[in-house]
Amino acid sequence: MPAKRIVFTGGSGKAGRHAVPHLLAKGYKILNVDLKPLDVKGVNTLVADLTDNGQAFNSLSTHFGFEGYDEGKPPSPPDAVVHFAAIPRVLIEPDNKTYQVNVISTYNVIEAAMKLGVRKVVIASSETTYGVCFAEGDKDFKSFPLEEDYDVDPMDSYGLSKVVNEKTARAFAMRYRADIYALRIGNVIEPHEYDRFPAFLADPLSRKRNAWSYIDARDLGEIVHCCLEKDGLGFQVFNATNDTITANIPTAEFLKRYCPDTPITRPLGEWEAPLSNRKTRETLGFKEEHNWRKYVKG
């Protein structure tokens, strides 16, 4: 079988620069679409602003490189689109711009994908949809574990943009009977960032906003890989986190100590991440490779 052709947006960013090489190693052909270049051998970057629907449409209907011209015909649509491009949190751009860029670019990418006949799209949603990450003040989660059927309720423009993007994905998946999977990505940790963990462990409340969970950027690439290989699920939401809590106390005991008023809705695995990846493991077959305990002493 020829290698699947994947358009990956936002591949030049923090998550993408690890996820793209991971996917390349799995044998996919990849075109990166971003405002900035990516220095990965074998991956061309098309510089495009995805808030412009013409540029989004063209980004999904172009050759991946000069070798495409040897085939003597215009390119077919890609086999899948992975949409990570975004303003990745509050306080980088004004709130209205964060909302506008994230919502419009996601609409443009999904619409172009569907109208070009692409059958699989994976989009980056966020832990912030669970409402605590960028809340004003000390907001409690409604219950633990945080799972995909939670009544998401962010109060900030970034988290809200991600909730809207999930709705956009659901609408297009329904209309086109396509697979669109939204990844509620936890706090992304790059390989060099494990030196931050001792401070996380020393000050547990500092990680409440991330629900004491994280995703290794390379394992995030593996979750995307699992999404690309699983078909027929329609619209889906998957938490994209690693398996275990970022604490040295088992999860149930930890939550009882630090969130005594928050109900626990099912038995928890001994070290299960409160932002649970159970569905991602059970439905997609995801297996983590980079548990934090491999890199952090104590």
Ligand X SMILES: NC(=O)c1ccc[n+]([C@@H]2O[C@H](COP(=O)([O-])OP(=O)(O)OC[C@H]3O[C@@H](n4cnc5c(N)ncnc54)[C@H](O)[C@@H]3O)[C@@H](O)[C@H]2O)c1
- By CB under 6 A, name the binding residues for ligand X: 10, 12-16, 34-36, 48-51, 84-86, 88, 101, 105, 124, 126-127, 185, 187-188
**Residue nearer to ligand X on the CB measure, 49 or 252:** 49
Cβ 157 to ligand X shortest distance, Å: 12
Smallest distance from ligand X to CB 161, Å: 8
Tell me the three-class secondary structure of 163-197, residue by residue: HHHHHHHHHHHHHHCCEEEEEEECCEECHHHHHHH
Nearer to ligand X, 90 or 264 (CB): 90
Give the burial class of 293: count Cβ atoms within 10 A of its Cβ; 0-12 exposed, 13-18 middle, 19 or more buried. middle
- Helices 95-116, 157-176: axis angle to 10 degrees equals 10
Q: At what angle do helices 16-25 and 217-229 cross, to 10 degrees?
A: 50
CB of 222 to ligand X, least distance (A): 15
Q: Is the Cβ of residue 43 or residue 71 nearer to ligand X in the bound state?
A: 43
Token representation of residue 210: 């991330």
Question: What residue number has its CB nearest to ligand X?
Answer: 13
Among candidate residues 132, 143, 129, the one with its CA nearest the CA of residue 183: 129
Beta bridge partners of 236: 181
Cβ proximity to ligand X, 215 vs 268, nearer residue: 215
Helix (H) or strand (E) holding 33: strand 29-34
Give the Cβ contact number of residue 2 at 10 Å: 6
Q: How far is the CB of 260 from ligand X (least distance, A)?
A: 27
If the CB atoms of residues 95 and 264 are measured against ligand X, the closer one turns out to be: 95
- Please state the closest distance from residue 17 (CB atom) to ligand X, in A: 8
